[in-house]
Structures are given as structure tokens and as C-alpha cells.
Amino acid sequence: MNNFTFCIPTDIRFGKGQIACLAAELEKYGKRILMVYGGGSIKKSGLYDEVYSVLKDFEIEELPGIEPNPKLSSVEKGATLCRKKNIDMILAVGGGSVIDVSKHISCAACYDGPAWDLMMDRSKVKKALPVAVVLTISATGSEMNSGAVITNEDTKEKLEINTPLLYPVISVCDPSYLYTLPPKQTAAGAVDTLSHVMEQYFQPNDEAYITDALSEAVMKTVIRYAKKAMDEPENYEARSNLMWASTVALNHLLTVGKGGAWSVHPIEHVVSAYYDLTHAVGLSILTPTWMKYVLSDVTEKRIAGFAREVFGVKEADDRKAAEKGIEKVEGFLHSLGMPSTFSEVGIDDSMFDTMASEAIRTSGLSERAYVHLNKDDVKKIFMMCK
């Protein structure tokens, strides 16, 4: 196992009705809250009113309307509000986008200058307001990690910041808030979670057996419950297992002792930057194809292990087991209604060359990925996805 540090200060409150704890916990930080949220779904579901009822003794400012792929302009807007209204803490009520923009606001509010400065020079992030979370979409794991992605609309850059200052102080994860999630979003969250685990699982170091076994546990959980949660939106067992799976998938536990770069995410990021594609749709198209592309005498053993442990493939021959495992991944994604080719989502080959260059330029694919990929490899993977 590689050396690692592990320290997650976030206080997770998981389960039905946990929002009741919020007032007592947030009082520690002051009285003035900036509440960040997305569209109208929390108003429709009644959560908006619930937050106000629980936090009736606080002064709440609002920053609504956060969209998927949150933008720098929202960060600036939030930071300005924080300074103007002397905000003590930020409350993110939503999924990954809302949490990420809240995290960015939390440091931008404590910085005297344009928010983008902090992305260009991370050493300038010295302070942040506390961020609390009420989770309404489980997918990104941002409720229990210290990363936050933001897009600069002007420069078209999508960058991540990652510092211990950004761990939420508390995250309320109530699986019953997921009951109103439409099947498509449920599927997308499950695919995102599965992909997060696979990215950490398929990395060079195979001495971290325990980490791999824990990863298999989380992948099995996603596979067991994703379709069920789509079919029975109010199945608490399915929702709660998926919700905790998505948190554990990206809270650092499944990467300890390993190390290396992710493989599919960096390729997908470029595709969804060029096309208006849901992240999980891109992942669904690319993941099995990437697996087929990297399958070799070197990788067949690990992919076969994955197939056996995660999908219960019985085949003794490693190559055949690996191939069956890839089929199983395809079958699982298909069962969730995810597309498997670019043509299904209206993407042709015109940008393959450009996107392949970009994927290599912006990632560790060619040097630190499970199987090192160059531009030509990425282009071939794109071709296989046609």
C-alpha cells in the first residue's frame, strides 16, 4: 500500500428527519446564513419550507437558481452577498453543483479580489466560511469531501479546487429527500457513483487489497439498488444504500494506499465540455469501451477479478471472465436506460481529434492512468463509441 493520510472532519447526519439537528449545530457558527439552492424542486418537495421552519431563529439570505455545472458568476454573486450581509455560514441545499458552488463561495467570501484568482493560485485560499449541506441528490460525494468544481464561462475552463478548508462542517443526508428524484437522475447518480469507484479501483497499485475489496462492496451496492430505486422511488432501503454508497465512493476511503490518475472522467469531461451532455451519459458510453480498449494480457487479471467480485462472474479463465465482466457493465448501464454510443446522443466524429488532444493535455492519462493512453488511444476509444 502507498502511504496516505486520512482525515475527514465532516459531521454526517444520515437518515430520516436528521434535519432537525441543524439549528443546534449551526448555532455554533453564528446567526446569518446564505442558503444556496438550485431550481424549484426543493420548493415543490416541501424541503424549502422545512429548512425555514427548522432554522426559524436564523437570518437567511438566499442564492437560488444554481444550475448544473455551476458557474463562476454564481460564485461572485454569492461572495458579494456574503460580504454585504456579513454572512456567518453557507447552507447548500441540493446536490453536487449546489455544494460545489457553495464551497467556492465560502473561500471567495474571505478573499479580497476576484474569485477566479483562487483557482489560478490555490495558495491564496487561506480562509473559508463554514459550509453546511442538506443533500438532495446523491452522486458526487461532495457532501463529505474537500473538492469543488467550477466553470469559468469566459475562459471555458472547468477547474477543481481541493483543500481541507472545503470539507462541509455538517451534511444532512436524508434518503427520503431522494424520493422525488426522477428515474433519469437516479440512474445518473448511480452511474456517477459506480464510475467514481471504478476510477479508483483501476489504478496501478494492486497491493492495497483492502481498498479494492471495500471498493467492490460499494460497486455491488450500486448495482444491487440502482434499478430498484428507479422502479420504486420510495424504497428506503434502496435510497439509503445508494445515498451512503455515493458518499463513501468519493470520501477518500476507496483511494487510500493506491494512487494514479483517473481514466474515464478526464475523457468524458472533454466530451461534455464540447457537447451539452449529462456527465453520467458520457460515462456510460465511454466506460465499457475504455474497458475493452485496455483489456490485455496485463490487465485481464484485474478486470477478471472485478467481474468475479462485483458481478459474480464464474468463468475461470481470466480473459473470458474479463470479457464477461465488460458485458455485465454494459448490461447494467443498459438496464438503467443509459445510451451506449455517441450516435444515440447526436455526437459525430468531427471533434474526436480535438477532444482527444484536449483530454491528453488536461489530464494525467498519458503518464499516471491505469493504462497509459496517448492521443491516438483516446481517438480510437472515441471511434469505438461511434
Interface with its own copies (CB under 8 A): 1-18, 175, 207-211, 213-214, 216-218, 220-221, 224-225, 236-237, 240-241, 244-245, 248, 253, 256-257
Q: How far is the CB of 2 from its own copies (least distance, A)?
A: 7
Determine the 3-state secondary structure of 327 from DSSP. Answer: helix
Q: How far is the CB of 213 from its own copies (least distance, A)?
A: 3
Dihedral, 305, 310, 315, 320 alpha carbons, nearest 10 = -70
Q: Which is nearer to its own copies, 200 or 278 (CB)?
A: 200
- The amino acid at 111: Y
Q: Which is nearer to its own copies, 3 or 123 (CB)?
A: 3
Q: How far is the CB of 168 from its own copies (least distance, A)?
A: 11
Q: Which is nearer to its own copies, 312 or 331 (CB)?
A: 312
Residue 182's closest CA among 107, 245, 95? 95
Q: Which is nearer to its own copies, 159 or 253 (CB)?
A: 253
Which residue has cell 444515440? 344
Q: Which is nearer to its own copies, 210 or 383 (CB)?
A: 210
Q: Which is nearer to its own copies, 5 or 350 (CB)?
A: 5
Q: How far is the CB of 221 from its own copies (least distance, A)?
A: 4
Q: Angle of helix 264-274 relative to helix 279-294, nearest 10 degrees?
A: 140
Q: How far is the CB of 374 from its own copies (least distance, A)?
A: 31
Instruction: Count the residues in the chain.
Output: 386
**CA atoms of 115 and 53, how far apart (whole Å):** 32
Q: Angle of helix 72-84 relative to helix 96-108, nearest 10 degrees?
A: 50
In angstroms, the first-to-last Cα distance of the chain is 38
**CA atoms of 251 and 256, how far apart (whole Å):** 10
CA distances from 163 to 49, 118, 221 (A): 32, 11, 29
CA distances from 175 to 138, 143, 243 (A): 9, 14, 6
Q: How far is the CB of 81 from its own copies (least distance, A)?
A: 29
Bridge pairing between strands 157-162 and 147-152: antiparallel
Q: Which is nearer to its own copies, 8 or 23 (CB)?
A: 8
Q: How far is the CB of 283 from its own copies (least distance, A)?
A: 21
Backbone phi and psi for residue 55, each to the nearest 5 degrees, phi listed first: -105, 40
Q: How far is the CB of 175 from its own copies (least distance, A)?
A: 8
Q: Which is nearer to its own copies, 143 or 268 (CB)?
A: 143
